[in-house]
Each structure stands twice: as C-alpha cells, then as structure tokens.
Amino acid sequence: MPRPFTLFTGQWADLPLEEVCSYARDFGYDGLELACWGDHFEVDKALTDPTYLDSRHTLLAKYGLKCWAISNHLVGQAVCDAIIDERHQAILPPRIWGDGEPEGVRRRAAQEMADTARAAAAFGVRTVIGFTGSAIWHLVAMFPPVPETMIERGYTDFADRWNPILDVFDAEGVRFAHEVHPGEIAYDYWSTRRTLEAIGHRPAFGLNFDPSHFVWQDLDPVGFLLDFRDRIYHVDCKEARTRFDGRNGRLGSHLPWGDPRRGWDFVSAGHGNVPWEDIFRTLRALSYDGPISVEWEDAGMDRLAGAPEALTHLKRFDFPPPAASFDAAFGTGPA
C-alpha cells in the first residue's frame, strides 16, 4: 500500500486553513500535518470550545483530507531555551509570552505542550511533532571553555522539564516526535543518543526524521534511520543544498536565507543533496508505514510551485515492493 503524503502547514499559516485545504487537495495530497499556529490548530480552542474539533474534522473532510499528526514546534522551543528574548515573543501566542519573564514563559510553554497532547488525543491524532528547546545550545562553540558539568546540567534540565510533559503524553496515548535540529537538545547523532539516555529511553519520546538537517552537518541520514529505527515516529521531507566553496561557511555567517554567500540553504524537495531513494528504500525496509509529510522551505521558489513539485518528485520513490523475491524464480525450474 502506498504511504499517505501530507503537507505540513507551518509555512502556510498566514493563510486560512480552508484555503490551505483547497490547495492541498488540488496538489494531490492525502492530508495535512496541522501546525498549532495561525488558525490551523488552536490548542486552547480544542480544549475549551466543544464545537472546535468537529469543525476541523468537517473542514478536512470537505476537501477529502486526513490528519495523522499535529505540530507545535514554536511553543516547544520555549520549554528549555536558556535565552528567552524577542525571538520567542515573535513566535509565541501572547498568552504564552505573558510578561516575557523567562521562567514564566518556560512554564507556560510546558503546560501548553502537555495540553497539546490532550488536544491531539481529543482530535484522534496520536503523534505530536515539535521542538524541545535547549539550555546548552548556546555552548556549541565550546568557548569560553565549557565544563562537562554544564553540559550535564543541560540534559538534566531537559529531563526535568520534559518528563512531566511526557507523563501527560503517556496518559493520553500520544507520542512526541522531536525534530532533530540545530538549536535543540538533540541536534545531531550523538546528542540524540544522549537525549534519549537523559529520559531513560521512554517510549513517549521519539523522533521526527527530517534529513535536511543532516545534509549540511555532513551526517548520514540513512545511518541515522537504521540506528534509531525504533524511534522514527514521523517523517518530514525537506531538503538542503550545500555550497561549500572555501568562502561560504557551514555556520551561515549570519546571512539571510537565499543569500548566495551562505554555505547551505533549505530548498524544496528534489533540489538539494538528500539521497531520497536510499531513504525511501530504508523506510520500506524498516516497515515505516506512517505519513510522508512535505515541508516546503525554499527562499528561491514560490510555495505554490514548490509544494506540488515536491510531491511529484517524492512519489517517484514510493514504489510498491515486489510480491516475491526477485531471485525466487531461479528455484522453480525442473530438478
């Protein structure tokens, strides 16, 4: 059976959800990965307005779409971040930002992530995707010299803040799929291992696999899939394109997206360096049968062109498996 293909609505949240539904249907998507910003999926309304969730289901059904996951990256970011500032104010709902006092923001964000699990369960969705934030990301350059105790405290802080949230996920029968991403507590291979260790490998916490973040870090996305096979709870398809020419650096040089002096950029699927066929073959081998969600991010391509083109490109690799081993016929002849 082909996997369902969904469109992540995070980069479309400036549009009303109904307009995004219309586009997704016309592009050929099977459903949406609903972002918890804009008017796409509002956690507070899901828990307080008795008509809200039915209205979301009705709207999706009107366009022949389904939802297998919701995403609350923006609020999740504020749970653990050491530095809370105007960047967070720009992405958080006013009721989460409040007066901007950092610890108050973190606590309200944590409560909202717990409520996201409750809202997802009430909606009939069993996977929530998001970020965690990090108390130690700002230490990544390791200078001034960083004692190991500071790093240990960062992972302890993550566990202390997220375990109570994950208790709610467990109670609601919902899983959290963390997107391994720079700026988070788990941003590459070894930090992912350490993150899972910090929470005792509890099943409520898994991974949203997005290979775009591996490409520019020189990590092997297929090896990551194989080693974390039991934690792949969701797949987002975004791509990165590298331009390391001796001047363009891996860290981006504080240059905006799309600037040709950057060493890499996010691009629409099919225009970068992600080995999609190897990834799809590996997902098949691992029996991943969840949705494939297209996340459009490309500073050089309009989303109305990128979203349908990415879907067409990725579906090329979702070919059906053979009904029998290709060499089975070799043993069927006369003895």
pLDDT at 32 over 90: yes
- Say if residue 197's pLDDT is above 60: yes
* CATH superfamily of domain region 5-324: Divalent-metal-dependent TIM barrel enzymes (3.20.20.150)
Q: How far apart are CA 75 and CA 108, in angstroms?
A: 9
pLDDT in tens, 231-290: 999 999 999 999 999 999 999 999 999 999 999 999 999 999 999 999 999 999 999 999
Q: Taking residues 106-130, report their average pLDDT.
A: 98
HEC sequence for the chain:
CCCCEEEECHHHCCCCHHHHHHHHHHHCCCEEEEECCCCCCCHHHHHHCCCHHHHHHHHHHHCCCEEEEEECHHHHHHHHCCCCCHHHHHHCCHHHHCCCCHHHHHHHHHHHHHHHHHHHHHHCCCEEEECCCCCCHHHCCCCCCCCHHHHHHHHHHHHHHHHHHHHHHHHHCCEEEEECCCCCCCCCHHHHHHHHHHCCCCCCEEEEECCHHHHCCCCCHHHHHHHCHHHEEEEEECEEEECCCCCCCCCHHHCCCCCCCCCEEEECCCCCCCCHHHHHHHHHHCCCCCCEEECCCCCCCCHHHHHHHHHHHHHCCCCCCCCCCCCHHHHCCCC
Mean pLDDT rounded to a whole number for the chain: 96
Residue 161 has which token pair?
């803040």
- What pLDDT shows up at residue 332? 61
Answer whether 291's CB lies under 8 Å from 33's CB. yes
Rounded to 5 degrees, φ, ψ at 177 are -110, 100
Residue 259 has what pLDDT? 97
Tens-digit pLDDT profile for residues 289-315: 999 999 999 999 999 999 999 999 999
Residue (of 231, 166, 165, 220) closest to 192 by Cα position: 231
Express each pLDDT in 218-238 by its tens digit. 999 999 999 999 999 999 999
Q: Which residue has the higher pLDDT, 3 or 129?
A: 129
pLDDT at 334 over 70: no
% of the chain residues with pLDDT over 70: 98
Mean per-residue pLDDT, 112-130: 98
Q: What is the pLDDT of residue 238?
A: 96
In terms of Cα–Cα distance, which of 286, 291, 6 is closest to 177?
Answer: 291
- Residue 1: the pLDDT is 57
Cα 87-192-294 angle, rounded to 5 deg: 65
Is the pLDDT at 26 greater than 70? The verdict is yes
pTM of the model: 0.96
Buried b (16+ CB within 10 A) or exposed e, 265-282: bbbbbbbbebebeebbeb
